[in-house]
Chain A
């Protein structure tokens, strides 16, 4: 009964993601006929070669980036919610995105330029610095979480750590050439559009690696649902599980931040959405569900950002949708001890 329902939900999510992907490729500032879009996607020659350029170099990377980023943030959020046993944990709220930003800005200052830093081979370096920056912050927050017991306090600490990290970034920026600072600031608004076709293998590769590690950690994450002590008595190597979870979620959040800038709310809202839809916290179902729901949500946000009046930064959309979701969670949760 429930198994059937879960299979159906996963199937529906897959179908919806495919449709949203198609819509994301179709919609944009330049009107490309649907038939032409399909032709390009199928690898055929469209009537006008310009359509090919628009679809292949702009829309396809953007849709792919959105799908990957959404999946990555959703899964990273789920991992953190389980690890911290805190329904409000996600890369953004715990300051991991800020840590990643700091890593990026340090890499930028170090390599002599944002564009240069992000160009070609440097991309991998930026991703690595973002992941390291995120991991440093996450480890710090995790250490604090062992002292702080209430989820809201931890969240406030995460926000504070994030603010402090952002302040460090600002400090770095004042000592930086204004043009680069400008580049950094527009990056900081968050966008799925700045990833080029050439970036996709790196972004896709790193994200896929992070997602793969996450998908394989369903069993330890399930054990962690009962808390670390119980997990240990059930035979889990808690330190290893914690390290693997930290590693993959930092990698995912770091990669997304490096390529798209800090994106808020997807990480917090998507796991709740998936839990709602699937009706379970069992990670063997919830992880793939969150992955799909994340891709779907990010694609929808990407589409929504293509307003008739112009392209709106994607964070505007995620915040408009995500903030009410978080408030709803806070209001609904009788006790914030759990992750449900």
Chain B
């Protein structure tokens, strides 16, 4: 039970526009006719509707050749909604829908009991019962389109053809109308064929697609098949837009030279904003920048620094103003396994927690029988050694040391972890390493220790492991000044 085209040729006055069309639209399914402008979609639909003669081939509906049928018989089997704007004057919705009974009524056009029932059903089917007594001229475009569809339904057809029914509608009405057509197809077991420009919507809701490509070839199949075959891209991609097969949507084609990795639940949405701003989305591998979602906003990571971004507009202006980066985001895989992925709190918050530091130093001293000063030095060494081992664990990549989390174990030893693997890569990582280790960690650590234990900052610095200080760009006697540490 279906509409079947075999070798159909359509066109005007003997000039074929499309030839050799083979397709099928099954009952119970929504079939969408897609194609760029000027490929002959309307010509095909008008031919199927019987508004112009076929130039060759056959059109069968449920096994009956439509081309040979008299007007009225044809109108009982199929109904059409056209792009023609109608303004029939003073008519109520019920009267207009009643005109759909035309092929079923007698010479006078008078409606009988059954006709009235069908009209009421058709109005109900498009959810327009509350409009039934309204004058057609008072309807909005969306309402009128629904009413015209009801009129088509009143013909009690097996096939419903609609030519760009959403052309004059606003976005919510388009979605509503498409949903209605889908429902009608399955509930009333109708074959519904719709031509439309609403590509993305059509590809989401259509059971089957008839795709007219630019060479006038008609491809048919489920939308996903056509997408996988690359036919949708081949037909509709432009210089500005390309079809994203996985997302089923069209995306802006950008000449993006910079890449950004987006992580978190909002990633798909944020990627669109990035694409628009001229960035390409990166999945694995190195990237120029990275955006992460946090509990109350986003983090922007670029050029070795991490910036808190409260909302999407902050994200957009942040990516727009990124300079050419000297430091890029590394492939997360290079950092994976460098730390545990244990729970914890941000390490940098520890430096403000003087109580916790004092307790850790006290415990260290107690356990090893050390003075407060020696205990502070020992505790520092243990923390900094762990930090350093993470910092240099991956070759050529500096992990996100500023995003490290910590736990204190029973021995007051600091356990470090990186909740999400990530890091930086650059030609020369030394400046980055210096800043992340010395500025982000050593300086606040020393400041905190000085607060809780009677120890000289100079002494603390001298006790930082040598293999670390050698690698950092912190020379000689003024090193304290260089890293911004206040020397008393």
- Verify A284–B109 contact, CB threshold 8 A: yes
The answer to whether A234 and B100 touch (CB under 8 A), given A279-B90, A281-B88, A281-B89, is: yes
- Verify B90–A340 contact, CB threshold 8 A: yes
CA distance A225 to B99 in the complex (A): 10
**Segment of A33-41, A167-175, A214-222 engaged in the interface with chain B:** A214-222
- Verify A281–B80 contact, CB threshold 8 A: no
- Kindly identify, within residues 85 to 107 of chain B, every residue whose CB is under 8 Å from any CB belonging to chain A: 85-92, 95-96, 99-100, 102-103, 105, 107
- Verify A222–B99 contact, CB threshold 8 A: yes
CA distance A223 to B78 in the complex (A): 16
Closest 7 CB pairs of A and B: A340-B89, A235-B75, A219-B109, A338-B87, A281-B89, A235-B103, A235-B72
A-B contact pairs, 5 of them (CB 8 A): A219-B108, A234-B75, A234-B79, A284-B108, A340-B90
The answer to whether A227 and B89 touch (CB under 8 A), given A219-B107, A234-B99, A235-B103, is: no
Assess whether B123 is interfacial by the CB under 8 Å rule: no
- Choose among A2, A216, A235, A335 the residue with the greatest number of B CB atoms under 10 Å from its CB: A235
Contact of B71 among A229, A237, A335, A340 (CB under 8 A): A237
- Verify A226–B76 contact, CB threshold 8 A: no
**Per-position binary interface string of chain B over residues 28-52, scored 1 when its CB falls under 8 Å from any chain A CB and 0 otherwise:** 0000000000000000000001110
CA distance A146 to B302 in the complex (A): 65
Contact of B90 among A223, A237, A280 (CB under 8 A): A280
The answer to whether A338 and B89 touch (CB under 8 A), given A218-B108, A227-B84, A232-B51, is: yes
Give the residue name and chain of the B residue nearest to A219 (CB): B109
Assess whether B74 is interfacial by the CB under 8 Å rule: yes
- Kindly identify, within residues 122 to 174 of chain B, every residue whose CB is under 8 Å from any CB belonging to chain A: 137, 155
Assess whether B456 is interfacial by the CB under 8 Å rule: no
Q: How near does chain A come to B83, taking the closest CB pair, in angstroms?
A: 9
A-B contact count (CB 8 A): 93
Give the residue name and chain of the A residue nearest to B152 (CB): A233
Contact of B102 among A234, A280, A284 (CB under 8 A): A234
Assess whether A62 is interfacial by the CB under 8 Å rule: no
CA distance A279 to B109 in the complex (A): 19
Assess whether A123 is interfacial by the CB under 8 Å rule: no
**Per-position binary interface string of chain A over residues 197-237, scored 1 when its CB falls under 8 Å from any chain B CB and 0 otherwise:** 00000000000000000001011001101110110111111
Q: How near does chain B come to A97, taking the closest CB pair, in angstroms?
A: 24
Assess whether B472 is interfacial by the CB under 8 Å rule: no
Q: Which residues of A contact B103 (CB under 8 A)?
A: 234-235
- Verify A339–B99 contact, CB threshold 8 A: no
**Per-position binary interface string of chain B over residues 9-28, scored 1 when its CB falls under 8 Å from any chain A CB and 0 otherwise:** 00000000000000000000
Assess whether A275 is interfacial by the CB under 8 Å rule: yes
Q: Which residues of B contact A338 (CB under 8 A)?
A: 87-89, 137
Assess whether B110 is interfacial by the CB under 8 Å rule: yes
The answer to whether A218 and B91 touch (CB under 8 A), given A233-B82, A235-B102, is: no
CA distance A282 to B49 in the complex (A): 25
- Verify A236–B71 contact, CB threshold 8 A: yes
- Verify A229–B87 contact, CB threshold 8 A: no
Q: Which residues of A contact B90 (CB under 8 A)?
A: 275, 279-281, 340
Assess whether A182 is interfacial by the CB under 8 Å rule: no
Q: How near does chain B come to A194, taking the closest CB pair, in angstroms?
A: 36
- Verify A337–B85 contact, CB threshold 8 A: yes
- Verify B89–A232 contact, CB threshold 8 A: no
Q: How near does chain B come to A136, taking the closest CB pair, in angstroms?
A: 26
- Verify B102–A236 contact, CB threshold 8 A: yes
CA distance A124 to B459 in the complex (A): 130
The answer to whether A233 and B50 touch (CB under 8 A), given A284-B110, A338-B137, is: yes
Given contacts A234-B102, A235-B102, A337-B85, 8 further A-B contacts (CB under 8 A): A218-B108, A226-B86, A230-B84, A236-B71, A280-B91, A281-B91, A284-B108, A338-B137
* Contact-size category for A: 20 to 34
- Verify B89–A230 contact, CB threshold 8 A: no
Q: Is the interface of B mostly helix, strand, loop or mixed?
A: loop
- Choose among B72, B107, B109 the residue with the greatest number of A CB atoms under 10 Å from its CB: B109
Q: Which residues of A contact B102 (CB under 8 A)?
A: 219, 222-223, 234-236
Q: Which residues of A contact B76 (CB under 8 A)?
A: 235
Q: Which residues of A contact B74 (CB under 8 A)?
A: 235
CA distance A280 to B91 in the complex (A): 5
Give the residue name and chain of the A residue nearest to B157 (CB): A233
**Per-position binary interface string of chain A over residues 247-285, scored 1 when its CB falls under 8 Å from any chain B CB and 0 otherwise:** 000000000000000000000000000010001111010
Q: How near does chain B come to A88, taking the closest CB pair, in angstroms?
A: 13
- Verify B89–A339 contact, CB threshold 8 A: yes
- Verify A340–B84 contact, CB threshold 8 A: no
- Verify A219–B75 contact, CB threshold 8 A: no
Q: How near does chain A come to B107, taking the closest CB pair, in angstroms?
A: 7
Q: Which residues of B contact A230 (CB under 8 A)?
A: 80, 82, 84, 86
- Choose among B73, B84, B90 the residue with the greatest number of A CB atoms under 10 Å from its CB: B90
- Verify B99–A223 contact, CB threshold 8 A: yes
- Kindly identify, within residues 61 to 75 of chain B, every residue whose CB is under 8 Å from any CB belonging to chain A: 71-75
- Verify B88–A225 contact, CB threshold 8 A: yes
Q: Which residues of B contact A280 (CB under 8 A)?
A: 90-92, 95
- Verify B137–A229 contact, CB threshold 8 A: no
- Verify B71–A235 contact, CB threshold 8 A: yes
Q: Which residues of A contact B88 (CB under 8 A)?
A: 225-226, 281, 338-340
- Verify A216–B155 contact, CB threshold 8 A: no
Q: Which residues of B contact A229 (CB under 8 A)?
A: 51, 82, 84
CA distance A222 to B109 in the complex (A): 9
Q: Which residues of A contact B49 (CB under 8 A)?
A: 233
- Kindly identify, within residues 317 to 340 of chain A, every residue whose CB is under 8 Å from any CB belonging to chain B: 335, 337-340
Q: How near does chain A come to B3, taking the closest CB pair, in angstroms?
A: 15
The answer to whether A233 and B84 touch (CB under 8 A), given A219-B108, A275-B89, A281-B91, is: no
Q: How near does chain A come to B105, taking the closest CB pair, in angstroms?
A: 7
CA distance A232 to B336 in the complex (A): 70
- Verify B51–A282 contact, CB threshold 8 A: no
Q: Which residues of B contact A339 (CB under 8 A)?
A: 87-89
- Verify B108–A225 contact, CB threshold 8 A: no
The answer to whether A282 and B95 touch (CB under 8 A), given A219-B109, A223-B102, A234-B102, is: yes
**Per-position binary interface string of chain B over residues 186-199, scored 1 when its CB falls under 8 Å from any chain A CB and 0 otherwise:** 00000000000000
Q: Which residues of A contact B110 (CB under 8 A)?
A: 284
Give the residue name and chain of the A residue nearest to B105 (CB): A219
Q: Which residues of B contact A218 (CB under 8 A)?
A: 108-109
Q: How near does chain B come to A128, taking the closest CB pair, in angstroms?
A: 28
CA distance A339 to B88 in the complex (A): 6
- Verify B87–A340 contact, CB threshold 8 A: yes
Q: Which residues of B contact A235 (CB under 8 A)?
A: 71-76, 102-103
Q: Which residues of A contact B72 (CB under 8 A)?
A: 235
Give the residue name and chain of the B residue nearest to A238 (CB): B71
- Kindly identify, within residues 298 to 314 of chain A, every residue whose CB is under 8 Å from any CB belonging to chain B: none
Q: Which residues of B contact A233 (CB under 8 A)?
A: 49-51, 75, 78-80, 82
CA distance A282 to B97 in the complex (A): 12
Q: How near does chain B come to A114, taking the closest CB pair, in angstroms?
A: 41
- Kindly identify, within residues 179 to 222 of chain B, every residue whose CB is under 8 Å from any CB belonging to chain A: none
- Kindly identify, within residues 1 to 47 of chain A, every residue whose CB is under 8 Å from any CB belonging to chain B: 2
CA distance A37 to B393 in the complex (A): 123
CA distance A340 to B138 in the complex (A): 12
- Verify B75–A225 contact, CB threshold 8 A: no
- Choose among B87, B91, B95, B155 the residue with the greatest number of A CB atoms under 10 Å from its CB: B87
Q: Which residues of B contact A222 (CB under 8 A)?
A: 99, 102, 109
CA distance A306 to B429 in the complex (A): 110
Q: Which residues of B contact A237 (CB under 8 A)?
A: 71
